[in-house]
Structure 1
Amino acid sequence: MIYFTKKPTQSLMLKFIIAICISVSLVACGGKTSTKTESKKAEEKKELLTLSLSAKQLELMNIQLVQPGKKAIASYVYLNGKVSSLPNNQANISSDLEGKVEQVFVTEGNYIGRGQPVLTLRSMPLIELQNEYLNTKSEMDFLAIEFKRQTELVNSNVGALAQYQVVEAKYNAIIAKEKALRAKLETLGVNVNDLQTPQNAVIKKMITISSPISGYIHKLPVKVGMLASPQSVLAEVVNLSEMQADLFVYDKDLNLIQEGQTVDLDFINASVPNVTGRVINIERMIDSENKAITIHVKFSAPDKSFVVPGMSVRGAVVNPNDKELSYAVPFSALLKEEDNYYVFFTNKTEDKEGKMSFKKAKVKLGDKNEQMVEIQFLNAVTEDIFIVQNNPMILENERRKNQ
Structure 2
Amino acid sequence: MKKLFFGIILILSACMQRKEEHAVEAAPETAENVAFITLEQMKAVGIELDTVSRKSLVDAIKSNGMLTVPNQNKALVTALTSGIVKSLTVLPGDYVKQGEVIATLVNPELTKIQQELQMTVAQLNLAKIEQQRQQELVAGNAAPLKNLQRVETELATLTATRNALQQQLATLGISPIAVAGGKISTTIPITAPISGTISNVTAEIGANVDAATPVAQIVNNSELHLDLFVYEKDLPKLKPQQAITFTLTNNPGKTYEAAIFSIGTAFENDTKTIPVHAVVNGDKAGLIEGMNVTAVVSTGAVKGPAVPAAAIVNHAGQDYVFVLMKATKDGYEFEKWPVAKGVTDVGYSAITAVKELPAGARVVSKGAFFVLAKLTNKGEE
- Same fold by TM (over 0.5)? yes
Q: Can you list the C-alpha shifts for 1:240-275, whole angstroms capped at 9, x where unaligned?
A: 232222334565554444433334444432346343
The counterpart of 1:227, out of the listed 208, 211, 236, is 208
CA shift at 1:189, angstroms?
2.6
- 1:307–1:336 CA distance, 2 compared to 1 (3 A): farther
Quick one: which amino acid aligns to residue 243 of structure 1? L
Equivalent position of 2:379 in the other structure: none
Q: Distance in 1 between matches of 2:29 and 2:105?
A: 92
- 1:382–1:33 CA distance, 2 compared to 1 (3 A): closer
Quick one: which amino acid aligns to residue 309 of structure 2? F
After superposition, residues 2-401 of structure 1 pair within 5 angstroms as 29-38=16-25, 48-49=35-36, 61=46, 63=48, 65=50, 68-71=53-56, 73-198=57-182, 201=183, 203-249=184-230, 253-271=234-252, 273-283=254-264, 289-290=270-271, 293-300=274-281, 302-309=283-290, 311-319=291-299, 325-337=303-315, 339-344=317-322, 359-371=334-346, 372-385=348-361, 389-390=365-366, 392-393=368-369
SS in 2 for 1:234: strand
- 1:390–1:270 CA distance, 2 compared to 1 (3 A): farther
Quick one: which amino acid aligns to residue 298 of structure 1? V
- 1:62–1:107 CA distance, 2 compared to 1 (3 A): farther
- 1:360–1:19 CA distance, 2 compared to 1 (3 A): closer
SS in 2 for 1:124: coil
- 1:28–1:384 CA distance, 2 compared to 1 (3 A): closer
Quick one: which amino acid aligns to residue 377 of structure 1? A
Contact 2:108 2:186 in 1 (8 A): yes
User: Structure 1 stretch 161-170 or stretch 77-86: which is displaced more?
Assistant: 77-86
Contact 2:196 2:218 in 1 (8 A): yes
- 1:30–1:258 CA distance, 2 compared to 1 (3 A): closer
SS in 2 for 1:141: helix
Alignment gaps of 5+ in structure 2? 377-381
Q: Distance in 1 between matches of 2:287 and 2:323?
A: 45
Quick one: which amino acid aligns to residue 378 of structure 1? V
- 1:168–1:80 CA distance, 2 compared to 1 (3 A): same
- 1:116–1:270 CA distance, 2 compared to 1 (3 A): same
Contact 2:319 2:338 in 1 (8 A): yes
TM-score by length of 1: 0.74
Quick one: which amino acid aligns to residue 328 of structure 1? A
Contact 1:114 1:214 in 2 (8 A): yes
Q: Can you list the C-alpha shifts for 1:168-203, whole angstroms capped at 9, x where unaligned?
A: 1221222222223223322333233322333xx2x2
Quick one: which amino acid aligns to residue 192 of structure 1? P
User: Structure 1 stretch 252-261 or stretch 84-93: which is displaced more?
Assistant: 252-261
Q: Distance in 1 between matches of 2:268 and 2:38?
A: 57
SS in 1 for 2:138: helix
Q: Can you list the C-alpha shifts for 1:100-146, whole angstroms capped at 9, x where unaligned?
A: 11122233344434333322211223333322222222222222222
Equivalent position of 1:4 in the other structure: none
CA shift at 1:93, angstroms?
0.7
**Which structure features the higher share of strand residues?**
2
Q: Distance in 2 between matches of 1:240 and 1:388?
A: 50
Q: Distance in 1 between matches of 2:117 and 2:245?
A: 57
- 1:74–1:124 CA distance, 2 compared to 1 (3 A): same
Q: Distance in 2 between matches of 1:220 and 1:399?
A: 68
Alignment length, in residue pairs? 377
Q: Can you list the C-alpha shifts for 1:35-85, whole angstroms capped at 9, x where unaligned?
A: 3445566666666457679xx969x949474662154x4433445444321
Q: Distance in 2 between matches of 1:92 and 1:258?
A: 34
Q: Distance in 2 between matches of 1:41 and 1:361?
A: 14
TM-score by length of 2: 0.78
Contact 1:221 1:234 in 2 (8 A): yes
SS in 2 for 1:128: helix
CA shift at 1:228, angstroms?
0.7
Identity, % of aligned positions? 21
Contact 1:333 1:343 in 2 (8 A): yes
Larger radius of gyration: 1
CA shift at 1:305, angstroms?
2.2
Contact 2:70 2:224 in 1 (8 A): yes
Equivalent position of 1:10 in the other structure: none
User: Structure 1 stretch 147-156 or stretch 242-251: which is displaced more?
Assistant: 242-251
Alignment gaps of 5+ in structure 1? 1-13
Contact 1:368 1:374 in 2 (8 A): yes
User: Structure 1 stretch 118-127 or stretch 389-398: which is displaced more?
Assistant: 389-398
Q: Distance in 1 between matches of 2:179 and 2:323?
A: 90
RMSD over aligned CA atoms reads 4.3
